[in-house]
Structure 1
Amino acid sequence: MNLNPKFPLYLPGVQNGNNDNVSIVGANLREDITTLGYFFSTNGGIEVKIQNTYPTKEFSSFSDILRKFIQENNLENVQRLGVAVPGPVLDGRSAPARLGWNLDVEEIKKDFGFERVEMLNDLEASAYGMGLIEDSDLEPVYTSGHLEKGNVAILAPGNGLGEAGYFFDGKYLRPFATEGGHSEFSPRTNVEVEFYQFLNNIYGIVSWENVLSKTGLFNIYRFLRDVKRHPEPEWLAERFSNGNFAQELYKAAVEDDILICKIAIDTFLEFLAREANNLTLKLKATGGLLIAGDIPQLIRDYINKDKFYEKFKISDKMEDMLRNIPIYLIKTDHTGLNGIALYTAYYQE
């Protein structure tokens, strides 16, 4: 995998020959599935040799997963480790709430004998991984044909709500993490005030993650069902109890034409457009908006791009800036895994 020139990442180590042909284990930790890969750095890019997934909740620690991956694949003398985690990383440590694990790069380095261990927030890692995707993996929602110069925003609803960005320094894009998904949600209409009150009774503080995530999609659905009294077919309730909620909801909306499911997805997309607007304005992301994550990938064919764009550019005073910002859907998985491997290979000189 080689770097895409549309994403001129700041990777000073690319010019250092000592970073060529380095062996790396990359890990992307998620609440449900943890993915590990065995990589080699090559010619300013990376090459994956092995990739395995593990059910996260079946392990008591990340070290247990890492040890299993190394043993199963008979890996010896791996030089570096990169870890992407669903939470903030502070001074080489992270305690992601959805995992219940405490991670410390110095402890992992000592226990396994790596020469270097890096750890990033998972969406910051994905921002590096975007630098490796093909043009065909960028699906335009609205664009003039290319990414303009400037900061770039990334929004990724999945198990949680990831928000990150790139700072454009005039030559390079420099990824950075945020915890913007935990900022407070604000309603706009009377129905949304009802929705806010519904969530307030459950959570107290209502964050955007309570609205734009897999749990958020369920929150929208149950508000429509329990408060607004939209009917739910009995067979659908049984499907939900036996399957993946988001997938079953989407299937019921598209294949079975169930009104409550269609309204739930439409509402989710309206909130997605609004929070995309918020993030873009806060980062002054004139270089573009990237929408990633499990849910947008799942419902990609359902999205009315013109309608999304019209909702996105609504603003009190900034509509002129917003209407010129290109928007892309990301169609590929594993940007987090590839990104942490790329960062671990080349960020340091």
Structure 2
Amino acid sequence: MQVLAGDIGGTKTALAIAEVRSGRLSFLRSRNYASAAYPGLEEIARDFLSTERRRPTSAAFGIAGPVRGGRAEVTKLPWSIDERQLARRLGIRRVRLVNDFIAAALGIPRLSRSGSVVLLPGEAESDGPIGVIGAGTGLGQAVLVRVDGDGIAVASEGGHADFGPRDEREDRLVRFVRKGFGRVDRDRLLSGEGLGHIYDFVKFDHRASDAPAVARAFPGNDRAAVISRFALSGRDALCREALSLFVSIYGSEAGNLALQYRATGGVYLAGGIAPKILPALRRRSFRDSFRSKSPLEAFLSRIPVRVVLEPKLGLLGAAATAYRIAIETTR
């Protein structure tokens, strides 16, 4: 059986044709698109399917935004998507829209051994909830629970919950960001855009200016990538401090997720940023922020944390969803 899977983000849209045989999933073809270059998902899907001789049996798309009643609004794009309309226009019998971190959570059980790496060791409970959090264009969160042997993913818009500063420096950070945006949510800081805001705050807090090399690198490039590169190479003190603060906040929020869902099955860091800053995540700052939550330090110290390295995690979960709805149709 062949199905269409999609991972729809504010920056990138990834589509793939997956084949499922005896429950095993493999990708036959995939392609990435720049989301903002297209008026909607339909146009991207039509282009992708133009070389297919026959339409896939079903399709599922993980959407970076809330999904209700088969309709979705992409948080950082002017796209409205309706699964019934999409099914009709693409000529695919069954189409399902899910939150992108629902797809990510459903992809976790299908990761290969090399698809993730241990960040913090622990003792995962085989039937415990698994928390998934990921900073990228925005901040996504979800939980995977096991019911009668099946994995059920529960969506969350926790990335848009209020950010809670932990100390005086973070108080100043919130005041700084609030001047430009008003309310400060977690997504405003734990994202590619957020790393830029944190860098701007560090620069302001020290009454400093961009180093000449950093200033030359910013124009025409992704600011978060520039900051990360200079931080990881040790070439700029402001970038190092900004990334260190970002990692500390990331660790704290991952710990919050573990507490909220009692994620004894482990916590997975998904999203595009974590693999790129893995050396920084391995430093003590992430671990201390994740576990330093009195009176539950001992509980959190037993929860393992892994970083997802598999770039097709969302596609894996979307493909699994497409396969499931295809099977339901035949029953």
Partner of residue 240, structure 1: 218
Matches within 5 A, 1:1-349: 22-71=1-50, 73-144=51-122, 148-169=126-147, 171-346=149-324, 349=328
Structure 1 CA distance, aligned partners of 2:186 and 2:101? 16
**TM-align CA RMSD:** 1.7
Letter in 2 for 1:41: V
The alpha carbon displacement at 1:256 in A equals 4.7
The alpha carbon displacement at 1:305 in A equals 4.5
The alpha carbon displacement at 1:302 in A equals 2.7
The alpha carbon displacement at 1:317 in A equals 1.9
The alpha carbon displacement at 1:306 in A equals 4.2
Structure 1 CA distance, aligned partners of 2:213 and 2:120? 38
Moved more, 22-31 or 176-185: 22-31
| Structure 1: 5+ residue stretches without partners | 1-21
Q: Is the 8 A contact 1:129 1:336 kept in 2?
A: yes
Partner deviation per Cα, 1:244-270 (whole Å, 9 max, x = no partner): 222211221232521001101100011
Local SS of the residue matching 1:128: helix
Seen in structure 2, the aligned counterparts of structure 1 residues 236 and 183 have a Cα distance that, compared at 3 Å, is same
Letter in 2 for 1:198: F
Structure 2 CA distance, aligned partners of 1:118 and 1:170? 23
Structure 1 CA distance, aligned partners of 2:19 and 2:220? 41
The alpha carbon displacement at 1:149 in A equals 3.2
Residues paired across the two proteins, number: 327
Local SS of the residue matching 2:33: strand
Local SS of the residue matching 2:246: helix
The alpha carbon displacement at 1:321 in A equals 1.3
The alpha carbon displacement at 1:145 in A equals 6.2
- TM-score norm. by structure 2 comes to 0.94
Seen in structure 2, the aligned counterparts of structure 1 residues 274 and 144 have a Cα distance that, compared at 3 Å, is closer
Moved more, 147-156 or 226-235: 226-235
Letter in 2 for 1:93: R
Q: Is the 8 A contact 2:124 2:303 kept in 1?
A: no
Structure 2 CA distance, aligned partners of 1:148 and 1:263? 38
- TM-score norm. by structure 1 comes to 0.89
| Structure 2: 5+ residue stretches without partners | none
Structure 1 CA distance, aligned partners of 2:151 and 2:94? 24
What percentage of residue pairs aligned between the two structures are identical? 25
Moved more, 309-318 or 290-299: 309-318
